Structure 1
């Protein structure tokens, strides 16, 4: 039995799995060669493998392609890991290097190269016009498997290097460690009127017609506890049942609520606002400071809010064919969208003249189309933005300029900056 230290190193090292795959390829080559020799290289006809010259060319191409592919994949992975370390955390690299799926992909590429080289050697050793058919056929299959693994690896690596993928990678490992080191006692089952979440995730979609049908059949009302886009921990309430809960299958209800690692646009328009605000904040934040990009983002935020300003909002109540409420969910309000768009940009960009000028222009334009019951949310933002600008600028021309609405940030707004009066000249009345 290896020591604890040795087992730890075997789990932590990147090269262990690829090395085992290469050794497996060598063993597989010895087996296929022995089988071919036992059948005098007649087990697989040349109509499938090809003539010796064609097979030799194909095996050489496979070997060189696998070397190039392995080098490219390792180079791209190294660059991606460096970017992830710089953007997220330098401590994330260990979790990435220990990713078994990536190690298996490297191992498959290396083993395909090894097997192709050994198959080429056996082909040259035969030298009588025959082809070790089984060995060559396995080399072809490994090549096809490597092509499939390449696409799967690109998909896996792309998901793993997203913010949500990296967070889930570390979070899943942490969850496993907690379960191993702090095993849970027998926990009492949840109350019959609460459906708990069996796995962590963000609510991205739900089958409303099926939930309504289930509630109608049971004669109850279902309440979705989290809002669309909310994260739900394991064991937290997912649905509440108002009425008779006995006839409802909790496992079936859980399947009707879709959880994912990150929010999506499918049924969550607030996520689109969220991402645009993030881009604008990056344009404002130091040391990048690109307020023109932030103004372009505010243009799209302004446009989207203008479309929402005059449209009715859903109540979150879903009824069956008889008109009875069967499903209730919390929905985003007009005030929520306004705060989502303006609050963070106001706090982050009040000191940059372009940002408040463009925000004032958006707010004043929204007031021209928003109905009376939606005006207070806009008035609140104008009041808070005015106070933020006054805190950032001393009383004078700069303050007045920053308080001036401007559709371009700086360029198209009216010149409302008062001209300073010179000490030697009397002020005009």
Structure 2
């Protein structure tokens, strides 16, 4: 029973972060970073397109057609590079991440299946995948900006800034690829996996509130219970800031009954109310996150579980 997690108010050392659960849940997904990168590169491409158009208009207004002709030749040469990058990037992405998934599968079979979450939560993995996809999308967008008109007096588009931006993205992709290979190789070594799990466990332990001696005295009798009414799963984390706001608004104390990481079924008591009438169930909506997989956000025992899995696999 997790009687120590009582919503008396925020800790004086650290205030609850309102978006902390959302941030942690997004880190457990693999779609958010690539999607954000593709949307971001589209916005950047629109800005680069406007800069190119403004540059062409400025040179035409000044009558500097020689410089504009040189820019047209440079853009035509860069088009070959952009086309090659666009045709090869998707193949490169498929090969790299297919081999990576095989490596992760080998690591999960050798250490513990839970090591897959380290790959999913890895910032370098998401950054590499996001930049690769963003580079591919950018090349497609840049190719649509090339003008077949080679006359500097009537040209309307010279994708100079866009071509330079594409080359920068290619260089960034190569740099991230080297870092990604290094991170994946480290993931296959048990010492680095253990160090990663231990570091996350210590980080979670440092953020844990100090348990009150002898439980939580002075709470009074339980006036109401809240039971889990959703799908069965593990208790991933608790939105502490939301619970604190509800408890202060209604003048009660909300006590978490199960531990973070416990498996819940419909009807399991999850919150006990002390000191007053129970808040509405709608007010406590989304206060508890239940899913199919445990996370490190507030679950200190999850790190010990992973280390135990690695130890058992080594002894078997």
- TM class by shorter-chain length? 0.5 to 0.7
Matches within 5 A, 1:348-427: none
Question: 2:135 & 2:36 partners in 1: Cα distance?
Answer: 13
Matches within 5 A, 1:223-238: none
Change in CA separation of 1:136 and 1:2 when aligned onto 2, cut-off 3 Å:
farther
Question: 2:148 & 2:44 partners in 1: Cα distance?
Answer: 18
- Please point out which of 57, 79, 82 is paired with 1:56: 79
Contact 1:45/1:133 (8 A) holds in 2: no
TM-score by length of 1: 0.39
- Please point out which of 37, 51, 63 is paired with 1:35: 51
What does residue 34 of structure 2 align with?
18
What does residue 85 of structure 1 align with?
108
Change in CA separation of 1:41 and 1:109 when aligned onto 2, cut-off 3 Å:
farther
Query: What's the offset of the Cα at 1:37?
Result: 0.8
Question: 1:150 & 1:47 partners in 2: Cα distance?
Answer: 34
Query: What's the offset of the Cα at 1:57?
Result: 2.0
Q: Which moved more, 1:56-65 or 1:103-112?
A: 56-65
SS of the equivalent of 2:30 reads coil
Question: 1:100 & 1:16 partners in 2: Cα distance?
Answer: 12
What does residue 371 of structure 1 align with?
none
Alignment of 1:9 onto 2:25: yes
1:305-334 alpha-carbon deviations (Å, 9 max, x no partner): xxxxxxxxxxxxxxxxxxxxxxxxxxxxxx
SS of the equivalent of 1:13 reads coil
Change in CA separation of 1:148 and 1:50 when aligned onto 2, cut-off 3 Å:
farther
Contact 2:49/2:159 (8 A) holds in 1: yes
Query: What's the offset of the Cα at 1:164?
Result: 1.6
SS of the equivalent of 1:70 reads helix
The structure that has the greater radius of gyration is 1
What does residue 323 of structure 1 align with?
none
Contact 1:159/1:165 (8 A) holds in 2: yes
- Please point out which of 157, 175, 179 is paired with 1:152: 179
Query: What's the offset of the Cα at 1:35?
Result: 0.9
1:186-213 alpha-carbon deviations (Å, 9 max, x no partner): xxxxxxxxxxxxxxxxxxxxxxxxxxxx
The runs of 5 or more residues in structure 1 that have no matched partner are 185-281, 287-429
Structure ranking higher on relative contact order (CA contacts 8 Å, 6+ apart): 2
TM-score by length of 2: 0.52
Change in CA separation of 1:125 and 1:182 when aligned onto 2, cut-off 3 Å:
farther
How many residues in Structure 1 have an aligned counterpart in Structure 2? 187
Question: 2:174 & 2:147 partners in 1: Cα distance?
Answer: 26
Change in CA separation of 1:183 and 1:143 when aligned onto 2, cut-off 3 Å:
farther
Question: 1:99 & 1:42 partners in 2: Cα distance?
Answer: 45
Alignment of 1:107 onto 2:130: yes
Change in CA separation of 1:145 and 1:36 when aligned onto 2, cut-off 3 Å:
same
The runs of 5 or more residues in structure 2 that have no matched partner are 1-16, 60-66, 212-313
Change in CA separation of 1:181 and 1:2 when aligned onto 2, cut-off 3 Å:
closer
Query: What's the offset of the Cα at 1:143?
Result: 0.9
Contact 1:10/1:16 (8 A) holds in 2: yes
Alignment of 1:173 onto 2:196: no
Contact 2:124/2:179 (8 A) holds in 1: no
Change in CA separation of 1:182 and 1:24 when aligned onto 2, cut-off 3 Å:
same
Question: 2:210 & 2:137 partners in 1: Cα distance?
Answer: 44
Contact 2:79/2:163 (8 A) holds in 1: no
